[in-house]
Amino acid sequence: MDESVAPPVPIEEDAHHAQAAVSAPVRARIRADAGGQVRARESRSGRRRARRPRAGARRRQFTVNLARGLETLRAFTPTDFLLGNSELCQRTSLPKATISRLTYTLTQMGYLVRVDRLQKYRLGPEVLMLGYPMLAGLEVRHIARPHMEALVRATSCTVNLGMLGRLEVVYIDALRLDRGNILQPDIGSARLLLTTSIGRALLLASPAAECTSILNRLRVANPSRFAEEKGFLAGDEERFRAEGFCLARGDFNSDIHAVAAPVRAGPRDHPLLALNCTRSTLGRQGGLRTGTMERKVAPRLLQAVCDIERAYAVMFNPNGKC
């Protein structure tokens, strides 16, 4: 399903990720384990010495200046592609002096381009160059393309392939056929997790610990939004377990309906992907017929997923199974 881009998460969340990303009871258990299960080793004198994990070791690995630079780049969106220092300050909650240094540095490195006439910045070509090796290295993206094209022809839907970002879905391929879709999905565009079928498919297909971690981070990033949207995930869980796909009936945008299913291709350490089909109700007299997405589109989507997984297995693991 296609919705507005998820807003950037405040830097403070990542700076304290080791504590903030988990709930209070989990933090209490971590502290208890650190204090009660002390690791010991033999010293040269034969005496056993207790060694406790150093508090905040993971936090000290976090480079704040790097995070600030990346958050500055993330402040640009398809609708806000020209931003000045004042606007960047508002979007990142960083001091003006810090933003001035960051924009100067990023401009010198080619990640930003200054528009002197407007005294603003836009993203530079180096940003695109940074993302290309990542896309080129996703073999499954190239394998999926012909199956996505066949799915577009069979369903008249817009078809997208996405993966988990930090707190959102990021599209790594998109085939737009439905011209009524005003949200214009494209490679690199982001979608919310809880209010989209593709986001929920990725969450429900993830290992339980990873899913819990992402949900906790969503809760920390925006408590009020999380409280409003968590019900969408619970409502789709039974369908996903029974039928293998998630369904969105205008959950975020009333004009967009979608179905999505996970794509499990490659070793376990490869990123989990998901495929969706979206259709707009705009321009359709009487809207979209009830049951169209789950009865007509979903079976073709699931077949496309299996075809992609089988094609990947044949190419990279000839002796494996789909």
Domain end (from 74, 105, 130) = 130
SS3 240: helix
205 lies in the same domain as 259: yes
Which residues lie below 8 Å from residue 89, measured CB to CB, with a gap of 6+? 95, 96, 99
| pLDDT bucket at 177, cuts 50 / 70 / 90 | confident
Backbone angles phi, psi at 297, to 5 degrees: -85, -45
pLDDT of residue 160: 96
Residue 238 has pLDDT above 60, yes or no: yes
Which helix (H) or strand (E) segment holds residue 143: the answer is helix 139-155
Is residue 172 assigned to a domain?
A: yes
Is residue 202 assigned to a domain?
A: yes
Buried b (16+ CB within 10 A) or exposed e, 191-219: bbbbbbbbbbbbbbbbeeeeebbbbbbbb
Tokens of 239: 């369908």
Rounded to an integer, what distance in angstroms lies between the CA atom of residue 109 and that of residue 187?
Answer: 24
142 lies in the same domain as 278: yes
| pLDDT bucket at 291, cuts 50 / 70 / 90 | confident
Is residue 47 assigned to a domain?
A: no
Domain count, the chain: 2
Give the CATH number for residue 194.
Answer: 3.30.450.40
Is residue 200 assigned to a domain?
A: yes
211 lies in the same domain as 297: yes
Higher pLDDT, 297 or 35: 297
Is residue 14 assigned to a domain?
A: no
Residue 16 has pLDDT above 50, yes or no: no
Is residue 22 assigned to a domain?
A: no
Which helix (H) or strand (E) segment holds residue 257: the answer is strand 256-263
Global confidence as pTM: 0.75
70 lies in the same domain as 217: no
Structural domain of residue 142, as residue ranges? 137-316
172 lies in the same domain as 280: yes
Is residue 55 assigned to a domain?
A: no
| pLDDT bucket at 66, cuts 50 / 70 / 90 | very high
Average pLDDT, the chain: 81
Residue 320 has pLDDT above 90, yes or no: no
141 lies in the same domain as 173: yes
183 lies in the same domain as 267: yes
Residue 141 has pLDDT above 60, yes or no: yes
Give the CATH number for residue 100.
Answer: 1.10.10.10
Higher pLDDT, 30 or 64: 64
Residue with tokens 């990640």: 111
Residue 104 has pLDDT above 50, yes or no: yes
Rounded to an integer, what distance in angstroms lies between the CA atom of residue 305 and that of residue 311?
Answer: 10
149 lies in the same domain as 115: no
Residue 308 has pLDDT above 50, yes or no: yes
Is residue 44 assigned to a domain?
A: no
Residue type, 13: E
Domain end (from 76, 105, 130) = 130
Q: Which of the residue ranges 7-11, 59-63, 157-161 would you say has the lowest mean pLDDT?
A: 7-11
Rounded to an integer, what distance in angstroms lies between the CA atom of residue 275 and that of residue 157?
Answer: 12
183 lies in the same domain as 73: no
pLDDT of residue 237: 94
pLDDT digits (tens, 9 = 90+) for 179-233: 666 667 889 989 999 999 999 999 999 999 999 999 999 999 999 999 999 999 9
Domain end (from 112, 130, 148) = 130
291 lies in the same domain as 163: yes
188 lies in the same domain as 310: yes
160 lies in the same domain as 119: no
| pLDDT bucket at 285, cuts 50 / 70 / 90 | very low
